[in-house]
A and B are shown apart, each in its own frame.
Chain A
Amino acid sequence: MELNELTAHEIRNLLESGKTSSEEVTRAVFAKIDREDGQIGAYITLCKEWAFDRAKTVDRKRKDGQAMPPLAGIPIAIKDNICTRDIRTTCSSKILENFFPPYQATVVEKILASDMVPIGKTNMDEFAMGSSTETSFFGVTHNPWNLEMIPGGSSGGSAASVANDEAIVSLGSDTGGSIRQPAGMCGVVGLKPTYGKVSRFGLIAFASSLDQIGPLTGDVEDSALLLDAICGHDARDSTSVDVPANHAKALSGSISKNIIGIPDEYFVGGLETEVETAVREAIKVLEGLGAKLQRVSLPHTDYAIATYYIIATAEASSNLARYDGVKYGYRHKAEKGLSLSEMYGKTRSEGFGVEVKRRIGLGTYTLSAGYYDAYYLKAQRVRTLIRNDFEKAFGKCDCIIAPTSPTAAFRIGEKIDNPLQMYLSDIFTIPANLAGIPAISIPCGLTRDGLPIGLQIMGKAFDETTILQTAYAYEQAADWRTITPDGNKL
């Protein structure tokens, strides 16, 4: 087994016993990228020199006998909507094609303080608006399990990089499922933390009341370790909350007293039979481990997509108003005599891709005079109903289990011309964002065509511990980790 195929905690053991170095691990990762990323397209920008510099520094520190954080020396990929100082951060958009942030996102400061080794910036849907990583200005990312399939989105590059061993772990962002859905479709573990758990400072805003940064990893233990490294209060994000970070230590807690909620509304028409079968098998495994099952109802699930696409696009239209070609980013190459207003219009029309324009337009419409109450305010009220559903359900259970997505990965190009169809593929992930609760996707099987299926576990706000414990218990019992895309691709 190559070093880049191991998990972070496995590599940690080798590093601590002196059997390998961060430099060697980093070399293995870049060797894989050099060989295969041309076909996968997980990365937009690589920072090789910086990575080796840091790897060597970390190795030296370790040799000197310094106490090292758990993830010291581990190569990490970063979604390209997270600001990295002096390293190009594009959001997969032409409008930010040459943007070099003058500051570091808080999560980047934190992974650097953890002595981790950043490898590069991963591909995504433009401004994280999409479910397939097809809307990137820099081209599509391919699913490592089958190159003709999408990797999911919007954190498709972050998921594919981990699935294809081109990074040990990665960071993504999740506004309506953008960590969990690609994790499910690429057969890795993806965690959306509770809203407020991880600082959003330096995350390029899409929908501020929904966005959250989280880890994509090869297994649940790595997910807990990376969450521990990035969570916590940050004065620069006033919505961030101070909560203890010791998820990795609590992983192996018994789940035999846990009550697992099974929501009726998530096992309905549109759910692929193979996905339903795999999820129901997983539920049996958890029952076998002693967990009690409890039917619950989330009656407003059917309204989540409409609610989400009103709120998210409204917030996006406001957040993306800042791209005007003045302070940074692309500007229309001015013809003489162009007015300021014309410059704005040409800059934005040329700089944004079609899905981003569609969402800005939609959000502008629902916020415009005469429509605000009918759409935006209405959606905010329904959001309350959806939150109340979860509150009621969590009165009866400790966590809720559901599929991550109704289908496995679909074909590249299949839904790109039908935005509504694309939106509907987020049906099971969106409610957690609207409610602000944490949720994790872990692999729970393969379709007959050999594509990964994701199992989603949702928890109470700030109770990542329960969903990580449940995920860990399932993973240990079912062990899908040993199955990798290697051998059936390239």
Chain B
Amino acid sequence: MTKITPDVVDHVTKLCRIHLTNEERKKFTEQLNQILTYMDKLNELNTENVEPTSHVVPLENVLRKDALSPSLGSEKALANAPDKHGEYFKVPRIINGTE
């Protein structure tokens, strides 16, 4: 039933921000097809009246007291940043245009 074309692979990798080489793209198409074909096995089961399980522990919303507690602080929070400027994470330009 499922057939993944290289175009679908391109769409998916664009969604998840991963670039593939041509060889990887070919291999992925083949492997994803194989895996998804295997997953079609689930269609043998009638699940019309079955509730989905998103979590195994039956929990309602878990709330905590709205109270102040210590947090990391900007120095520690920035310590692992690949690039920073003062107290900010630095990223490439987002909006096109001149300086």
Could you list which residues of chain A lie within 8 angstroms of chain B, going by C-beta atoms?
A: 98-100, 102-103, 195-196, 209, 235, 238-239, 241, 300, 302-303, 305-307, 309-310, 317, 321, 324-331, 334, 338-346, 348-349, 352, 354, 357-358, 360-362, 364-365, 368, 375, 377-385, 387, 419-420, 423, 434-436, 461
The listed residue with most A CB atoms (<10 A of its CB), out of B8, B15, B24, B83, is B15
Distance from B21 Cβ to chain A, minimum over Cβ atoms (Å): 9
Checking B47, B57, B64 against A385 with a beta-carbon cut-off of 8 angstroms, the contacting residue is B47
Q: Is the CB of A195 within 8 A of B57?
A: yes
Tell me the nearest residue of chain B to A377, going by C-beta: B52
Chain B residue numbers with a CB within 8 Å of A209 are 54-56
Tell whether B68 is near chain A: CB-to-CB under 8 Å.
no
Q: Is the CB of A306 within 8 A of B39?
A: yes
Give the interface size class of chain B.
35 or more
Checking B18, B55, B57, B83 against A361 with a beta-carbon cut-off of 8 angstroms, the contacting residue is B18
18 A-B pairs in the complex with CB atoms less than 8 angstroms apart: A241-B57, A327-B80, A328-B82, A338-B92, A340-B93, A358-B28, A358-B31, A360-B18, A361-B16, A361-B18, A364-B12, A378-B42, A380-B53, A382-B47, A383-B52, A384-B51, A387-B53, A420-B34
Can you name 15 extra interface pairs (CB under 8 A) apart from A327-B89, A361-B13? A102-B77, A235-B64, A357-B18, A357-B28, A358-B31, A361-B12, A361-B18, A365-B32, A365-B36, A368-B15, A380-B52, A381-B51, A382-B42, A387-B56, A436-B56
Distance from A432 Cβ to chain B, minimum over Cβ atoms (Å): 11
The listed residue with most A CB atoms (<10 A of its CB), out of B31, B34, B41, B42, is B42
Chain A residue numbers with a CB within 8 Å of B50 are 381-382, 384-385
Chain A residue numbers with a CB within 8 Å of B72 are 102-103
Checking B18, B35, B62, B81 against A349 with a beta-carbon cut-off of 8 angstroms, the contacting residue is B18
Chain A to chain B: the 7 pairs with minimum beta-carbon distance, closest first: A436-B56, A380-B52, A328-B80, A331-B82, A238-B62, A381-B47, A364-B16
Distance from B87 Cβ to chain A, minimum over Cβ atoms (Å): 13
Q: Is the CB of B35 within 8 A of A362?
A: yes
Checking A103, A307, A434 against B42 with a beta-carbon cut-off of 8 angstroms, the contacting residue is A307
Distance from B65 Cβ to chain A, minimum over Cβ atoms (Å): 10
Checking A196, A302, A384, A461 against B53 with a beta-carbon cut-off of 8 angstroms, the contacting residue is A384
Q: Is the CB of A348 within 8 A of B17?
A: yes
Chain A residue numbers with a CB within 8 Å of B62 are 238
Checking B8, B11, B15, B92 against A339 with a beta-carbon cut-off of 8 angstroms, the contacting residue is B92
Checking A317, A349, A387 against B19 with a beta-carbon cut-off of 8 angstroms, the contacting residue is A349
Q: Is the CB of A102 within 8 A of B79?
A: yes
Chain B residue numbers with a CB within 8 Å of A98 are 80
Chain A residue numbers with a CB within 8 Å of B91 are 326, 340, 343
Checking A196, A343, A362 against B57 with a beta-carbon cut-off of 8 angstroms, the contacting residue is A196
Tell me the nearest residue of chain A to B54, going by C-beta: A380
Distance from A172 Cβ to chain B, minimum over Cβ atoms (Å): 20
Q: Is the CB of A362 within 8 A of B32?
A: yes
Tell me the nearest residue of chain A to B64, going by C-beta: A235
Q: Is the CB of B35 within 8 A of A420?
A: yes
Distance from A230 Cβ to chain B, minimum over Cβ atoms (Å): 18
Q: For the complex, give the distance between the alpha carbons of A223 and B54 in Å.
A: 29
Tell whether B76 is near chain A: CB-to-CB under 8 Å.
yes
Distance from A51 Cβ to chain B, minimum over Cβ atoms (Å): 23
Tell me the nearest residue of chain B to A436, going by C-beta: B56
Q: Given contacts A326-B91, A383-B52, is CB(A309)–CB(B57) below 8 Å?
A: no
Q: For the complex, give the distance between the alpha carbons of A151 and B11 in Å.
A: 36
Tell me the nearest residue of chain A to B21, going by C-beta: A349
Distance from A193 Cβ to chain B, minimum over Cβ atoms (Å): 12
Q: Is the CB of A317 within 8 A of B82?
A: no
Chain A residue numbers with a CB within 8 Å of B45 are 300, 303, 382, 385
Distance from B59 Cβ to chain A, minimum over Cβ atoms (Å): 7
Q: For the complex, give the distance between the alpha carbons of A321 and B50 in Å.
A: 30
Q: For the complex, give the distance between the alpha carbons of A364 and B17 in Å.
A: 10
Tell me the nearest residue of chain B to A381, going by C-beta: B47
Chain A residue numbers with a CB within 8 Å of B41 are 302-303, 306
Q: For the complex, give the distance between the alpha carbons of A411 and B9 in Å.
A: 31
Q: Is the CB of A419 within 8 A of B47?
A: no
Q: For the complex, give the distance between the alpha carbons of A377 and B42 in Å.
A: 11
Distance from A129 Cβ to chain B, minimum over Cβ atoms (Å): 13
Distance from B39 Cβ to chain A, minimum over Cβ atoms (Å): 4
Q: For the complex, give the distance between the alpha carbons of A321 and B15 in Å.
A: 10
Q: Is the CB of B12 within 8 A of A384?
A: no
Q: For the complex, give the distance between the alpha carbons of A307 and B45 in Å.
A: 12
Chain A residue numbers with a CB within 8 Å of B83 are 331
Q: Given contacts A209-B54, A436-B56, is CB(A334)–CB(B92) below 8 Å?
A: yes
Chain A residue numbers with a CB within 8 Å of B92 are 334, 338-340, 342-343
Q: Given contacts A239-B59, A309-B39, A360-B18, is CB(A329)–CB(B82) below 8 Å?
A: yes
Q: For the complex, give the distance between the alpha carbons of A360 and B8 in Å.
A: 14
Tell me the nearest residue of chain A to B51, going by C-beta: A384
Q: For the complex, give the distance between the alpha carbons of A326 and B94 in Å.
A: 13
Tell me the nearest residue of chain B to A328, going by C-beta: B80
Q: Given contacts A365-B8, A385-B47, is CB(A435)–CB(B39) below 8 Å?
A: no
